[in-house]
Amino acid sequence: MSDTAHAPAAPGSHAVAHASHPDSFYVKIWGVLLVLLVVSVVGPELGIRVVTLFTAFGIAVVKAYLVIKNFMHLGVEKKYVAYLLLTMLALMVVMVGGVGPDVLRHQGTNWDNVAAKKAVEAGLKAGGGHGEHGADHGAPAPGAASPGEAH
């Protein structure tokens, strides 16, 4: 597959035209990356939250895209290679999404899951508030919403 990237230029062929970029093309991309680097360093210095987010993380994504497309040749690969990459990124999001609630919002060194506790308490309160449990059992069970029980 990577053979395409090194194939000698055949005029008129779209893929090959991309593949045979002269050195100056890569230098240009490198120049763009340098400019972006400056922006990503200067941006957060301003101290504005939104600007920091965009200039630090937003620009990092753009830089990653440029590197993958041009230096790692994704631009000249077959389309499914890009889809494979996107699938892997999607799986990463799935994994972080599933793991995050358990490992990101802990307190102290006892891996006390604050977020989960809050959710359980809120759930118990909501259940009592709608009168479902309250109606069934006459009154909410004493201590049902205490943090100790929830854990």
Partner 1 sequence: MSTAAHADHGHDHAHAHHEPGFVEKYLWSTDHKMIAMQYLFTGMAMALVGGFTVYAFRMQLAFPGMSVPGYGRVTATDYNALVTTHGSVMIFWVAMPVLIAALGNYLIPLMIGCDDMVFPRLNRLSYQLFLISAIILVASFYVPGGAFGGAWTSYPPLSAKAEYSLTGLGSSMWLFAVALEFAAFLLGGINFVTTVMNSRAPGMKMFDVPIVVWMIIIASILFMASVGPLIAGAIMLMFDQQLGTGFFDPAKGGDPVLWQHLFWFFGHPEVYVVLLPAMGIVAEIITVFSRKKLFAYKTVLYTAIGTGVLSFFVWAHHQFIAGIDPRMANVFSVTTLLISIPVAEMVFVYIGTLYGGSIRLTTPMLWALAFIAEFLLGGVTGIFLGASGADIYFHDTYFVVAHFHYTFFPIAFIGSFAAITYWFPKMFGKMMNETWGKVHFWGTIIPFNFIFIPLFLLGIRGDHRRIYDYRHFPDLMKAGMQDLRILATISLLVLLAFQVVFLVNFFVSLFRGPKAPMNPWNANTLEWQAPSPPPHGNFPQGLPNVYRGPYEYSHPDRKDDYWPQTEPASEPAKT
> In the complex with partner 1, which residue's Cβ is closer, 45 or 112?
112
**3-state per-residue secondary structure call for the chain:** CCHHHHCCCCCCCHHHHHHCCCHHHHHHHHHHHHHHHHHHHHHHHCCCHHHHHHHHHHHHHHHHHHHHHHHCCHHHCCHHHHHHHHHHHHHHHHHHHHHHHHHCCEECCCCEEHHHHHHHHHHHHHHHHCCHHHHHHCCCCCCCCCHHHHC
User: What residues are paired with 113 via a beta bridge?
Assistant: 106
Distance CA 127, CA 140 (A): 9
Tell me: does residue 94 bind partner 1 (CB under 8 A). Answer: yes
Least distance from C-beta 148 to partner 1, angstroms? 14
Tell me: does residue 81 bind partner 1 (CB under 8 A). Answer: no
**Which range of residues in 39-47, 48-56, 106-114, 141-149 is near partner 1 by CB under 8 A?**
106-114
**Site for partner 1, residues 111 to 130, rule: CB under 8 A:** 111, 113, 115-116, 119-120, 123
The first and second tokens of residue 71, run together, are 């230096």
Tell me: does residue 15 bind partner 1 (CB under 8 A). Answer: no
Interface residue with partner 1 among 95, 126, 135, 141 (CB under 8 A) is 95
Tell me: does residue 99 bind partner 1 (CB under 8 A). Answer: yes
Least distance from C-beta 80 to partner 1, angstroms? 9
Tell me: does residue 148 bind partner 1 (CB under 8 A). Answer: no
> In the complex with partner 1, which residue's Cβ is closer, 70 or 113?
113
Which residues are at the interface with partner 1 (CB under 8 A)? 1, 87-88, 91, 94-95, 98-99, 101-103, 106, 109-111, 113, 115-116, 119-120, 123, 151
